[in-house]
Amino acid sequence: MKKLNLFFYIFLFLFVLSCNKYEEVSKQTTNANDLTPEMKQWAFMGELTSTTCGICGSSGYNNFNLAKKTNSGKIIALAFHCNFPQDSMDCFGLRYSYQNSRDGGSGIPQFFIGDNYISYNSLQLSIDSILKRTPEAQLKFSVSRSGNIMSIASKIKFFKNVSGEYYVTFFACEHNINGGATAGTGYKQASGASDYKHNNVVRASQVMNNAYGEKFSTATSFNANQIIDYNCKITLDPKWNLGNIFVTAVIWKKNPDNTAACQYLFVNGWDAQKYN
């Protein structure tokens, strides 16, 4: 029995390490001449987190990473940090606008899959449910950078005849930020390992005070196979590690019910990150 228990704890330890150890293995290198969106549904995971939160640095971190690994190549994963100035990664305008249009639980970490607040033990079930949708729209984009300016060219394609107000957000996220024992003020993660890394940290977008971006068309009805070109720029802070910035995009639909807790509904998203 003791040998079995020892085996179990070794397995558990290695499992936790596998959740904590990952890297992006593909950067955004899309050919600007090939931006035809694929008819593929992606899922969305948004997390409210903070360096001040011990649970965020342990089980929250592991669940976030595990969901990314399990759904690599078909999930948008965003970490919205809060609690400035204790947390130097709090991108207040984007975080507040995102949080303010979501009916979440109390405390942090909070996970949102699609439009809904979801507990840890239901993350994959909710992700699977979104991935079964027939996509109504999708996008593809390319990114170029000159200094601290990212230029984005994209095409957004509809696959159904639909109506409503549609928005798009391009998020600049940073990965591999030191949150371990040698991290600077506002970066060291409570309950984090000595080599802890912050990843998928939302840093900026093309509309800095609105996580739901902007309408990409003044039209309110769209035909199947209609394609819309949308270009924008994101300004980066040169203090960030610009080599570790990647872009991820989300299409939203404005909720026609102005009294609903969730005012922007997740439609689809895309990026070129892969997680292992």
- Calculate the alpha carbon distances from 121 to 91, 124, 127, 229 in Å: 28, 8, 12, 39
Does 79 have pLDDT greater than 70?
Answer: yes
Report the distance separating Cα 267 and Cα 223, nearest Å: 16
Q: What is residue 28's predicted lDDT score, i.e. its pLDDT?
A: 52
H or E, element range at 16: helix 2-20
Confidence of residue 36 (pLDDT cuts 50, 70, 90): very high
Q: What is residue 47's predicted lDDT score, i.e. its pLDDT?
A: 97
Which residues neighbour 202 within 8 Å (Cβ) at sequence distance 6 or greater? 78, 79, 80, 81, 91, 94, 95, 171, 172, 173, 211
Q: Write the pLDDT tens digit of every residue in 120-176.
A: 879 999 999 999 999 999 999 999 999 999 999 999 999 999 999 999 999 999 999
Average confidence (pLDDT) over 180-200 = 97
Average confidence (pLDDT) over 236-250 = 97
Locate 207 and state its tokens. Answer: 């509309």
Does 214 have pLDDT greater than 50?
Answer: yes
Which residues neighbour 43 within 8 Å (Cβ) at sequence distance 6 or greater? 71, 74, 75, 76, 113, 114, 127, 130, 131
191: buried, middle or exposed (CB in 10 Å: 19+, 13-18, 0-12)?
Answer: middle
Confidence of residue 103 (pLDDT cuts 50, 70, 90): confident
Q: What is residue 120's predicted lDDT score, i.e. its pLDDT?
A: 80
Q: What is residue 26's predicted lDDT score, i.e. its pLDDT?
A: 55
117: buried, middle or exposed (CB in 10 Å: 19+, 13-18, 0-12)?
Answer: middle
The CATH class for the domain spanning 2-22+39-270 reads mainly beta
Q: What is residue 248's predicted lDDT score, i.e. its pLDDT?
A: 97
Range of weakest confidence among 5-9, 59-63, 238-242, 254-258: 5-9
Does 6 have pLDDT greater than 50?
Answer: no
Q: What is residue 10's predicted lDDT score, i.e. its pLDDT?
A: 42
Average confidence (pLDDT) over 191-219 = 97
Does 21 have pLDDT greater than 70?
Answer: no
Beta bridge partners of residue 64, listed in sequence order = none
Average confidence (pLDDT) over 185-211 = 97
Q: Mean pLDDT, the chain, as a whole number?
A: 91
Does 85 have pLDDT greater than 80?
Answer: yes
Residue 20 DSSP one-character state: H
Does 18 have pLDDT greater than 50?
Answer: no
Does 2 have pLDDT greater than 90?
Answer: no
Q: Tell me the DSSP string of 28-40.
A: ----TT--PPPS-
Does 54 have pLDDT greater than 50?
Answer: yes
Alpha carbon 191 to its chain's center = 22
Does 24 have pLDDT greater than 60?
Answer: no
